[in-house]
Amino acid sequence: MKDVQFKRHCRQKIYQPSTTMQSSTTTSSTTTNSRQEARLFGTHEEWRKHVLASPMAGLFTCPGSSLLQLCLDGDPSPTTPQSPPLHNLSHDDHHTPLSCRKCRTFYDDYVNMPTAQLENIEKLTKAQSKVQLWHDMRRVRITASTARKVPIRSTTSPEKFLSEHLYPTFHGNAATRHGAVSEEHARQFLNTQGHTIENKGLVVCPAKPWLAASPDGVMNKEMLLEIKSPVLGKKSLREALATKNAEVTPLADGHYLLASNGPKGYYMQVQLGMHCTGLPRALLVIWNNTEHIEIQVPYDKHFLQTHITRLRTFYFTHMLPKIVDDFVKGRLQLCNTYLTLK
C-alpha cells in the first residue's frame, strides 16, 4: 500500500447521470411506486416460487447460510389460531359437554392434558395434601373421594357441593390425624406380609380428565389399595361393623360385603379409583390398632357406567361453568406450577 498515491478527485470527473436519464428514472420510479401493491402469499411454497422467479433470486440462492437463504429453505412453522382470552368470551349452551366455547377453552388449557403430562403430575403429587399442585388439580375435577357428595337429583341445587369442593374450609382434625397414623401402620403390616406397595399421587383418568383419584397405593402392581381407619370409641371393629347403615356387613361365611350405597361412599371411592388407575380389583383394608379386615373388591362396570354418566353431566352443566367464572374473576386461583404445566 506504500506505493499507492491518492489524487484529489475533480468534480468534473465524478460520474453523474444525465439530466434526461435522471428525469426518466424519476418518472419511471414514480409511476412504478404508484402502481405497487402489497401481495399476500397463502403458503410458504407460493412465496418461494415467486422469489425464485424474481430478479432477486440470486440474493436468496447465493452459497452460504445467509438469513435470506435460511428463509427460503426453512420449514415454515405451523400456526395455531389463538383463542380469545377467557374474559372476552361469553357462555353458550351447557346442555351437551363442551358445547360452550368459554368452558371448552378453559377445559383444553387446564383440564384436558396429554398422557405424558398426567404421568408427570402423578409423580409431582406423591406427597398428596402437602403439595399445592395436588389441591389445585383436585379442585377443578371431580375426585373419587368427593363424588359421593355430588347431588343425585337434577332438581337439587349444586351450590352446596360446589362451595365445599372449590373452597373447602375443613383442614383436618383429630380423626384425620388418627387416620394418617393408622394408614402408615396398615402399610407396614402389609409389607411384613410380603406385599409391595407403591405410593401414588393424583391419578387423573386419561379418558376422562375431569375425573381423578388419590389412591392410598397400588399393591403388587396389580391391585388398588384403599385404607380406612374409622374412629370406633369403645367399640371393637366387629361391633362397629354390626351397626345399622355400616359400610361393611359381615356375612355368615366369615366374609364381608361392602355396601354399594354406604353413607360414607367407600364403594364409589374404590370403584372410581380403579377406573382412574385402570386396575381390575382393589383391596379395602379397614384398620384398627388391635384388629383389621381385608375386603377384595372387583371392578363393577355396570355401577360405574351409571354413576359416571351422572357425574359427567353434573361436571359440564354446573361445575365447569362455575370454575371458569371464578377463575376469570380471580376468586379461584391456580398455583404457578399448574399454570406453567403446558
Where does the chain show beta strands of DSSP type E? 142-143, 197-198, 203-204, 211-213, 217-219, 223-228, 248-250, 256-258, 281-287, 292-298
CATH dotted code for 95-339 = 3.90.320.10
- Residue 236 is predicted with a pLDDT of 78
Q: How far is CA 278 from the centre of its chain?
A: 18
- Residue 79 is predicted with a pLDDT of 52
Residue 339, CA distances (Å) to 82, 110, 123, 327 in order: 17, 8, 17, 12
Confidence of residue 14 (pLDDT cuts 50, 70, 90): very low
Distance between CA 179 and CA 175 in Å, rounded?
6
- Residue 309 is predicted with a pLDDT of 96
Which residues, at least 6 apart from 198, have a Cβ–Cβ distance to it below 8 Å?
Answer: 217, 218, 219, 221
pTM, full prediction: 0.74
DSSP string, 7-60: -PPPGGGS----HHHHHHHHHHHHHHHHH------SSHHHHHHHHHTSTTHHHH
Residue 178, CA distances (Å) to 118, 126, 134 in order: 31, 20, 21
